[in-house]
Structure 1
């Protein structure tokens, strides 16, 4: 590795790098001793983890090769890794395996190194979890009649398998199936309707809670597999008639009904069956919509343990949640220093997807107006929300020196390693459902107290918040290290001078991200950057619009006036003025709500409260 690093790649080695490569080799070779835990290598970006992996695979004895499965994020990377290993080995030792590079069972079983994608490996794990069958896993793991000795996952892998179903969609589907099915399947559809009604007729507040045992027992008794077979055997026309009948009842907007289809029903039933198989679930309510959730861990379902190469493992609480399944190895000191990197931070911004998707063009004009002169002549990577890209790309210079890409499409890529600066325009927030799903996947069913806020876990005061902040932090560090600061230029691990421009929100999340960057990139220089972007006060949405938008998508049920104030975050006096119009049945607002099946009821007397009812 030292020879390849210095002579072939023209890079400078160091004692710290040698220690890192030795740690990686030892961890991978331990795979053959059936270690009980995945070994996580958290050496920094640019320390040669992937290069060392290529060398290690290539130098194994062809006759006694351990057999390696490498799992990487992108198909292109799988192709490049295969070519690199074969070039070093001087024979076709490795082969990629994905949709664009198929292979027969024999071809795969006799290839010393198979390189596939995260998506393909995930499908293999799900097949085992769902059916106990190992067809997909065997194609990846079989080697000369046995199993591959080494499994290496390049970049963080999402081991949580999560499912979320909108209760109102279940209710609509089950009503359609009651009309379309016959005999025992109709009974199953009626049970499903009863289950979905229970979901939508409870949880009137914005609360998350465990699916109670009685409700889950109903789900467990439903013949979901029979319903899947019934739907699969029913023509599109027959299902369409049930949908048309529902459309005629005007219980929900036509725009939602028209999207219903046989394929969607089969997908919903598949997810429902998986939640039932998991054995527990929970419900959330957001914006008047109830969702049913379930999640499980896929780690270890194939009986394999191996090595995960993840530079940001040290700031991702997901590894702590996986507990006894993983060991995060300590990062050898001195591999990298980032004293030539300057992080320019501007605080107090709105950086979420929803805000920037609607205001990207205007806000980016401010950012680019400030930075275009500072960064003139430099190659720049701009990372933004995918929905914002069309509005900001038009402001970039036409000489190709500014490269735009979106969150979720950066990790592990080396496309921008000559860029001298990066601008991070927005942050990739998770909603608060996903962190809960991930925790429950690895730690099992939680109590109602956990959902109400008692979520201390190890050193984290609230693990749900910590998982969300950790996801943002690791995404930001990964994005920063796509550009030239990923490349060490001397034995001390320095890089060429690099500038990063980052907009952060006020509060704990922004501080958590900043701390994570400093932890992951020791020596990085901080500088204040006063950007005027994304600080304008958001225009207020009129209460009438909030009310109609809310009830257009809300589940049927009872909604106290106080709950509407809290859910929509509106001023009580403003709602009072609006509800005065609802007492006039001829008003436009009353007509809109009636079209959604909503009526407003007033009550008088001590302790009485006005409320809305949606049929």
Structure 2
């Protein structure tokens, strides 16, 4: 027998929203109600509710919250990505409940803590929730921000919902060159009793940044090195810097280092920059572990921690793409993925047209989109005639692609990072994905260390097996791409089901993919998340222009010709060029032969190749 909630949700879904429901929908909605019953049984435990996009996760949440009785109300906190979405959820809950049960609270909707403690349901943003968690982590379980969100007049809010995946990783990075400059400046401006601290930081930065080529592999910061970052000393430095007048900082900076002071750019505050750097160092010291990376001739200090579980709160995460995100595998103690009921959606009316063998990274497309896009769009114009189209590209590429339109139809544009959770394009019947959102090679390391803990130098050297993945960092990177693509596809009208079988209206999707594993992972994720979708091969216009293919040697020499003087590890070069390691490995013999044309070309560019062997060592290019 259906509960009051599922009866009410079914009426809301079919009568108010005019959508079709099925037994599978009802099973999925019941799963949310059952998850709330289990909320108080396991402190610190989160359940991931992963109904597919368009099956009513957020609508079910609104209805369930609206049905809670004023006297026995559990106290609810809902966390969503955007401010306008928070306003909308609160407004809808109140309309469904028939009384002012919910209130949004964020930067544009402020309120006092005592006032919020009387509101049965609060709706806030991911950003506000993360700030509260950070304050809680920094202040030993004392956080006004956290109390403001979680305090309810009868104690604490018992139901916490997070709509869309939250970034639980709190990561920090410090450019050691900047730290060296900062500490050098402070040595000449601070009171005598603080100069010793500044000199110690300067020595610390120099010792980590100025190393020989044989020490350029990423590695863990040892306890002796970390002991230099004493939280009390860093706090004293920050207090002293805050008392120094702003104009003094500008005097410390050489003229050629001063920021661009054109009227269309906001002037840089050196004092603010220095204070921010000291705050970051303080965070690293509080976390208690760190690691060093070397990229493009720069040395960086990194540290990260997980914000998951520090509050002891249990809740429910609404995330349609959880199954294809390896990040959840890093949190087995805190997270349980609830099984997705089968048969809710059917995507047989969606056709995915895939063109293979493309370079789709941000850097490449920023430099080459002006040549490639006209050919691709020339082909797409015929296919998309009369359609309402969403084009998704990298932010830096949008100015190039947005200059093109359809003779008959409408085109909208959006960039990666601004799609998840939005419902702005659900009238579009076509989607073009021009490029993929790659992570850099630092972000996956931050994620793994934050959730699993500090790792030995062998791990940084490449021994990264975890949870069935040969290289967990690679898996996290490809998983991020896969979930981002599925989220992007489900921004257009295929997100909406039109009948009890869960079908969508006909849509056409066009995507460029590279060769190899990333393409396989992305297509597997789409097939898993969107059952019965039709996949067809598509020869994009640019794919036929074989002259665009650049040999590996040419890519390497062009990159190093444009590079600044410095040390570039093999891993950094591969990441910048978007190359497979085997491509560079095939050049190893030529790079080690001083008589080869490649080596002679590099010599003319003032570049030498240093080949190293042994655990933790890595080949690199040195440009004078």
TM-score (norm 1): 0.88
CA RMSD of aligned residues (A): 3.0
2:6 is matched with none
Alignment of 1:172-211 (within 5 A): 172-202=181-211, 204=213, 206-211=216-221
Q: Does 1:216 align with 2:226?
A: yes
1:66 and 2:74 equivalent?
Answer: yes
C-alpha contact 1:41 1:309 (8 A) present in aligned 2: yes
1:418 deviates by 1.3
**Contact (CA 8 Å) 1:180, 1:242: kept in 2 or not?**
no
Q: Does 2:564 correspond to 1:550?
A: yes
Distance in 2, matches of 1:565 and 1:359, equals 19
The match for 1:416 among 408, 425, 432 is: 425
Whether contact under 8 Å (2:294, 2:569) holds in the other structure is: no
Asked whether the 8 Å contact 2:321–2:487 carries over to 1, the reply is yes
The equivalent position to 2:97 in structure 1, one of 89, 106, 109, is 89
Q: Partner residue of 1:16?
A: 24
In the aligned structure 2, how far is the partner of 1:508 from the partner of 1:27?
Answer: 36
Provide the C-alpha distance between the structure 2 equivalents of 1:221 and 1:575, rounded to a whole number of angstroms.
50
1:429 to 431, 438, 463: 438
1:365 corresponds in structure 2 to 374
Deviation at 1:359, TM superposition (A): 2.0
Within 2, Cα distance between the matches of 1:567 and 1:511?
22
- CA deviation profile, 1:85-107 (whole Å, cap 9, x unmatched): 11111111111111111112233
* Structure 1: distance between partners of 2:375 and 2:557: 30
Which residue does 1:103 correspond to in 2? 111
Structure 1 pair 388–538 and aligned structure 2 pair: CA distance change class (3 A): farther
CA offset at residue 368 of structure 1?
1.3
What is residue 614 of structure 2 aligned with on the other side?
none
Asked whether the 8 Å contact 2:159–2:315 carries over to 1, the reply is yes
Cα distance between partner residues in 2 of 1:318 and 1:513: 16
- Structure 1 equivalent of residue 64 of structure 2: 56
Q: 1:115 aligns with which of 118, 123, 141?
A: 123
Residue 166 of structure 2 is matched in structure 1 by 157
Check the 8 A contact 1:565/1:575 in 2, yes or no: no
- Residue matched to 2:153: 144
Map 1:244-259; keep pairs closer than 5 Å: 244=254
Alpha carbons 1:543, 1:574 under 8 Å: kept = no
CA distance in 2, matches of 1:381, 1:255: 37
Distance 1:613 1:178 in 2: 31
Partner Cα distance (2:621, 2:480) in 1: 39
Contact 1:164 1:294 in 2 (8 A): yes
3-state SS of paired residue (2:363): helix
Runs of 4+ aligned structure 1 residues displaced above 4 Å come to 253-260, 538-545, 563-581, 610-614
CA contact (8 A) 2:231 2:286 kept: no
Partner of 1:242: 252
Q: Number of matched residues? A: 581
* 1:480 matched to 2:492: no
Give the alignment of 1:387-466 within 5 angstroms: 387-397=396-406, 401-466=410-475
Report the 3-state secondary structure (helix = DSSP H, G, I; strand = E; otherwise coil) of the residue aligned with 2:542.
Answer: coil
Contact 1:280 1:445 in 2 (8 A): yes
Is 1:192–1:222's contact at 8 Å kept on the other side of the alignment?
no
Determine the C-alpha separation between the residues in 1 that align with 2:622 and 2:451.
39
Asked whether the equivalents of residues 45 and 313 of structure 2 are also in contact (C-alpha less than 8 Å), the reply is no
Cα distance in structure 2, aligned partners of 1:513 and 1:480: 12
Q: State the Cα distance separating 1:329 from its structure 2 match.
A: 0.7
The reply to whether residue 270 of structure 1 matches residue 279 of structure 2 is: yes
Alpha-carbon spacing, 1:367–1:15, altered in 2? closer, same or farther (3 Å): same
Partners of 1:560 and 1:380 in 2: CA distance: 42
CA drift at 1:524: 0.9
Cα deviation for residue 301 of structure 1 reads 1.7
Q: d(CA) in 2 for partners of 1:203 and 1:315?
A: 41
Report if the CA contact (8 A) 2:117-2:152 is conserved: yes
| Mapped partners of 2:549, 2:184: distance in 1 | 44
CA drift of 1:83 comes to: 1.2
CA shift for structure 1 position 169? 1.1
Change (3 A) 1:203 1:316: farther
What SS does the corresponding residue of 2:541 show, helix, strand or coil?
Answer: coil
SS of the residue corresponding to residue 296 of structure 1 reads strand
Alignment equivalent of 2:51, drawn from 31, 37, 43? 43
Could you give the per-residue CA deviations for residues 93-130 of structure 1, whole angstroms, max 9, x where no partner exists? 11111111111223311111110000000000000111
* Equivalent-residue separation in structure 1 for 2:516 and 2:573 (angstroms): 27
Further displaced range: 206-215 or 401-410? 206-215
Which whole-Å deviations, capped at 9, do the CAs of 1:121-171 have from their partners, x for residues lacking one? Answer: 000000011123210011111111411110000000000000111111111
Residue of structure 1 equivalent to 2:613: none
- TM-score, structure 2 normalization: 0.87
State the secondary structure of the residue aligned to 2:299.
strand
1:339 aligns with 2:348: yes
- CA offsets, 1:378-403, max 9 Å, x none? 11111110111111111024877211
Deviations 1:513-569 (A, max 9, x none): 111111111111110001132772359579598357321xx48xxx999x9999997
- Any idea what SS the aligned residue of 1:227 has? helix
Match of 1:584 in 2: none
